[in-house]
Structure 1
Amino acid sequence: MDALPHTGTMTAIEATEEEITPHLDDTVSIAAINGPRSIVVSGDNTAKIAAHFAHRKTKQLAVSHAFHSHHMDAMLDDFRTVARTLTYSAPQIPIVSTVAVDSDLTDPEYWVTQVRSAVRFHHAVVELETRGVTTYIELGPDGVLTAQAQQSAEGTFTAALRRGRDETTTTLTALGTAYVHGRPVTVAQGNLVDLPTYAFQHERYWLVPTGGGNATELGLGESGHPLLGGLLRLADGESTVLTGRLSPSSWLADHKVRGTVVVPGTALVDMALHAGELAGHSTLDELVIEAPMLLTEAVQVQVKVIDDAVTIHSRTDNDWTLHATGTLSSTPATPQEFAWPPAGTPLDVDELYVTLTQRGLEYGPVFQGLTHAWRDGEVLYAEVQVPENGFGIHPALLDAALHPAAGTADSLALPFSWNGVTLHTREAGTIRVRLAPDDGNGLSLHAIDENGTPVLTIDRLLTRPVGAELTPPIDGLFEVAWPQITPNTRTTDHTLIEVPTGNIHDVTEHTLTTLQ
């Protein structure tokens, strides 16, 4: 699948299968039926179907391909060839398929069908209930299916694992839940065996620091940040350094400016906030982006905090580039409450992304998190969703929150100055945003979650236009330079300056003004 072109989209829509079917064609099909009113469509452009259900909840999924659609057809023959080389055995416990109720799982063609056909999860759960099933335990990394299954059947639902929770406690709780609902629980007892006398064969799939040894041996700690893996607290007790490595093959590749992968300024803000938090600061008073961080190749990143100052550098070889400087404090910005849903005129999100693309901002699925937007005079509102994965504020979430302002601006501009940034709630996956102009030429941003709890406050955000070329780096600041001056040929011409009478201070001031 990964060899296929990264094309197409997938969108989750709150609707029934009967409501969706009239809007399907050869380019878009149903990829999954997760509940009686929970459908996922997949294909060339799922936004056109989502537009028919704008009054309901819709969400474009962050995926690399349009799975379970005609976009998979090009790999089916190769997949079938591999499937036919495997040995199959009949299942020893009953299985209900999400493709068909009566299926021969030992037929390689069944697994080819799984790739291409819609996942009818809702129908499978209904079939289980028909067969008398009343207790459901999800075996997976989280409880996503547990929540979906409760839309389709009555009974007891529990998950063996939950993201962010202790595995042993969660598994035993699931077994305990089944037990108190009348299901006997038997834990198999295995036999102890001797370990082999030779070292286990293994391969490393992570980077080993130059010179050998692991991070702990080199004095590095865990930073707790998805992009910055290493933490070093210097011996002076005043400096904290975080390091990481960013690759253009990561999800950051979904953020392009005029064809070049650029690390979004929101990622630099999140790095600075995280580094500041580790150093005991809660607020990013100011962060000025002095040069964009381009990902034409993998770069090493370094975030350093000394007292209340923060800097962000990167390098691809021995030369470091300064990307941002800022100051930190422990005085939080004041959050602002606002009503939801907002008043104002709804904006066409699809049309907005078309406008951004035409201007040179090319957003992949990860960064297309804007689901709804409104304009009320000069004030903009937005609802944004992205997957949760350990960021204080996900860079794609914050970037998408600014898309209404970028899409309604007169020209292409990127954020470069952030003031009064305070993260009130960590790891929000859905936020509601209010963007309002300030007394100057900046914007303020206030974000809340679905319960109205403050998530993020930005007192002031400034943007600057992107030049005709993104490289060399955008430079809106002065620099120190020593140009060589060639004296002009001396001339005999003279200029007479008339100086009025008065005290010496007045004469000097007037003379300097005239010379200028």
Structure 2
Amino acid sequence: LPDAARLVTARATLMDALPHTGTMTAIEATEEEITPHLDDTVGIAAVNGPRSIVISGDNTAKIAAHFADRKTKQLTVSHAFHSHHMDPMLDDFRAVARTLTYSAPRIPVVSTVAVDSDLTDPEYWVTQVRAAVRFHHAVQELETRGVTTFIELGPDGVLTAQAQQSAEGTFTAALRRGRDETTTVLTALGTAYVHGHTITAPQGDLVDLPTYAFQHERYWLVPTGGGNATELGLGESGHPLLGGLLRLADGESTVLTGRLSPSSWLADHQVRGTVVVPGTALVDLALHAGELAGLSTLDELVIEAPMLLTEALQVQVKVVDDTVTIHSRTDADWTLHATGALGSTPVTPQEFTWPPTGSPLDVDELYVTLTQRGLEYGPVFQGLTQAWRDGEVLYAEVRVPEHGFGLHPALLDAALHPSAATADTLALPFSWNGVTLHTREAGTLRVRLAPEAGDGLSLHAVDENGVPVITVERLVTRPVGTELTAPTDGLFQLSWPQVTPTTRTTEHTLIEVPTGNVHDVTEHILTTLQTHLTDT
């Protein structure tokens, strides 16, 4: 352990002393596609997947420009790692590496560095600083050796997501950002166990962790009036967006509260240049609030006004009996954004075959069309990986990184992108009916979108194993006007003006109103009135 600590410390110290020069860029391409564009100033830093390459060097933007039609991202790094920018530190690092004692590993190790030397050779660790990280090839080698279960030991599940592009098998992570550590590690071990692996708990003595120097000092703002959330009567909602939970004294109302910031990942969802909280996020909030109130399904949600995130918003989701409402405000009056009805009878999911038999759609072209129409999606919302059309039915496969949502709003939003791109005009979700979340925290969806009566759309989605994730019986969209504006007051009032009756006799027509949701009833009345007025 002391030798390992010396090696890690020397590497970090020497790297940090280097000039902060160069850049690194991730590119969606194969190694064969990128290699012809490389030179002495820019090289490959990492091969993370079959079509996931990171380049590093003097100016990686010039190479990324050759792949303008692909996904590229310049990484936020202090140095151009795994490039010639590391050369000035190699001799000093080699001198430290040669002073250490090495032992052969007790378990087999597959290295991400393609070199002949083994881990007991100091030169291996010097090469590791400079050579490309071939994670993709290492995972493939593990699969060749018969490995079928992969457990990531790290601070999050990033490598787990990458490894699934390189091999088939079971993948899980021992730690996940934002999740309880004990639950996560036991889930990882349980996953390995149910796939045929024996779990042996380590034997040892429990020791106290070191004390924290600032244990009794606060470095965050205290809520007005003093005290923390618990002292103010707020509980934990367990939702990533709205963390506060308040159960009112009447015993019948549940309120989720919190703030949404335009600097969050929600900024990746823009409509004609304005950040708009996606309707899928409102659905997720309504479902979560309903679950806390003991109601598991969303029978209906009507979006009455867009939630514009031009500045930080205070948001409340309130459940009274089986009714859910979503409001927001800055410093002014509250604006009503959505009203819905909750229930407890789940919708039966629909089965469909995969892969679909329809014609493939060009995903890149779909996003170009969406951008031209005014739907500007950042990386978080560009989750559509494949799409097909089979007559009037659309199919899609969508992915997002690991998350803590019941169903990530960006994942559900991406499921609707094929429909939005192939529609005649720019439209946003207006009403949702029969929404049931069957499985939580799915990272991949296989989706079937089919037209319903009128201008509706049904959505059925399963995960990679065919397990139902979410069902939407009917989704209706409405065209977006030329400008998006937030209403000054979303709380409408009812007034009864005095009307003087006329003596003229008129013929009366009785309209039979069917039972159903608000949207269907309203649409029926308006259609009948229009027909009657046209006839007369």
TM-score with structure 1 setting the length:
0.70
Aligned pair in 2 of structure 1 residues 235, 380: CA closer, same or farther (>3 Å)? same
Whether contact under 8 Å (1:28, 1:46) holds in the other structure is no
Q: 1:453 aligns with which of 467, 486, 493?
A: 467
Aligned pair in 2 of structure 1 residues 436, 105: CA closer, same or farther (>3 Å)? same
- Give the drift of 1:78: 12
Paired residue secondary structure (2:291): helix
Residue 443 (str. 1) matches residue 457 (str. 2) = yes
Map of 2:318 onto structure 1: 304
Aligned mates of 2:164, 2:315 — CA distance in 1: 45
Per-residue CA deviation, residues 403-457 of structure 1 (Å, 9 max, x unaligned), is 0001011111111111111111111111111111111011111111112121111
Map of 2:380 onto structure 1: 366
Aligned pair in 2 of structure 1 residues 45, 508: CA closer, same or farther (>3 Å)? farther
Whether contact under 8 Å (2:400, 2:443) holds in the other structure is yes
Identity across aligned pairs (percent)? 66
Aligned pair in 2 of structure 1 residues 387, 217: CA closer, same or farther (>3 Å)? same
Aligned pair in 2 of structure 1 residues 250, 346: CA closer, same or farther (>3 Å)? same
Q: Aligned runs of 1:264-343 on 2, under 5 Å?
A: 264-343=278-357
- Give the drift of 1:295: 1.2
Whether contact under 8 Å (2:335, 2:491) holds in the other structure is no
Per-residue CA deviation, residues 456-490 of structure 1 (Å, 9 max, x unaligned), is 11111111111111124599x996698x99xxxxx
Aligned mates of 1:263, 1:414 — CA distance in 2: 11
Aligned mates of 1:79, 1:22 — CA distance in 2: 20
Aligned pair in 2 of structure 1 residues 214, 30: CA closer, same or farther (>3 Å)? same
Greater C-alpha Rg: 1
Aligned mates of 1:25, 1:343 — CA distance in 2: 40
Aligned mates of 1:448, 1:286 — CA distance in 2: 21
Map of 1:488 onto structure 2: none
1:508 maps to a residue whose letter is T
Whether contact under 8 Å (1:238, 1:306) holds in the other structure is yes
Aligned pair in 2 of structure 1 residues 188, 305: CA closer, same or farther (>3 Å)? closer
Residue 66 (str. 1) matches residue 74 (str. 2) = yes
Map of 2:528 onto structure 1: none
Paired residue secondary structure (2:290): helix
Aligned mates of 2:160, 2:429 — CA distance in 1: 41
Map of 1:509 onto structure 2: 506
Q: Aligned runs of 1:3-402 on 2, under 5 Å?
A: 10-11=27-28, 17=31, 19-21=32-34, 30=44, 32-34=46-48, 39-40=52-53, 43-44=64-65, 48=69, 65-67=73-75, 90=97, 118-121=132-135, 139-141=153-155, 161=175, 166=182, 170=186, 200=215, 202-205=217-220, 207-402=221-416
Aligned pair in 2 of structure 1 residues 299, 29: CA closer, same or farther (>3 Å)? farther
Moved more, 281-290 or 261-270: 281-290
Aligned mates of 1:276, 1:121 — CA distance in 2: 43
Paired residue secondary structure (1:509): coil
2:305 maps to a residue whose letter is A
Aligned pair in 2 of structure 1 residues 213, 260: CA closer, same or farther (>3 Å)? same
Aligned pair in 2 of structure 1 residues 106, 424: CA closer, same or farther (>3 Å)? closer
- Give the drift of 1:334: 2.2
Unaligned 5+ segments in structure 2 are 1-19, 56-63, 144-149, 510-531
Per-residue CA deviation, residues 349-406 of structure 1 (Å, 9 max, x unaligned), is 0000001011111101110000000111111110110113111111000000000001
Q: 1:471 aligns with which of 453, 472, 485?
A: 485
Paired residue secondary structure (1:291): coil
Per-residue CA deviation, residues 12-31 of structure 1 (Å, 9 max, x unaligned), is x7x7x5x5556766899755
Aligned mates of 2:417, 2:474 — CA distance in 1: 16
TM-score with structure 2 setting the length:
0.68
Aligned mates of 1:314, 1:453 — CA distance in 2: 35
1:284 maps to a residue whose letter is L
Per-residue CA deviation, residues 212-237 of structure 1 (Å, 9 max, x unaligned), is 11111111111111001011111111
2:355 maps to a residue whose letter is P
Map of 1:53 onto structure 2: none
Paired residue secondary structure (2:74): coil
2:326 maps to a residue whose letter is I
Aligned pair in 2 of structure 1 residues 382, 199: CA closer, same or farther (>3 Å)? closer
RMSD: 5.3
Whether contact under 8 Å (1:419, 1:459) holds in the other structure is yes
Aligned mates of 1:274, 1:430 — CA distance in 2: 20
- Give the drift of 1:297: 1.2
Aligned mates of 1:30, 1:452 — CA distance in 2: 37
Residue 423 (str. 1) matches residue 437 (str. 2) = yes
Map of 1:405 onto structure 2: 419
Aligned pair in 2 of structure 1 residues 421, 30: CA closer, same or farther (>3 Å)? farther
Aligned mates of 1:73, 1:9 — CA distance in 2: 12
Per-residue CA deviation, residues 144-173 of structure 1 (Å, 9 max, x unaligned), is 6589889999xxx99765776627975997
Aligned mates of 1:356, 1:168 — CA distance in 2: 38
2:219 maps to a residue whose letter is R
Moved more, 258-267 or 314-323: 314-323
Aligned pair in 2 of structure 1 residues 194, 406: CA closer, same or farther (>3 Å)? closer
Paired residue secondary structure (2:336): strand
Aligned pair in 2 of structure 1 residues 433, 300: CA closer, same or farther (>3 Å)? same
Aligned pair in 2 of structure 1 residues 40, 411: CA closer, same or farther (>3 Å)? same
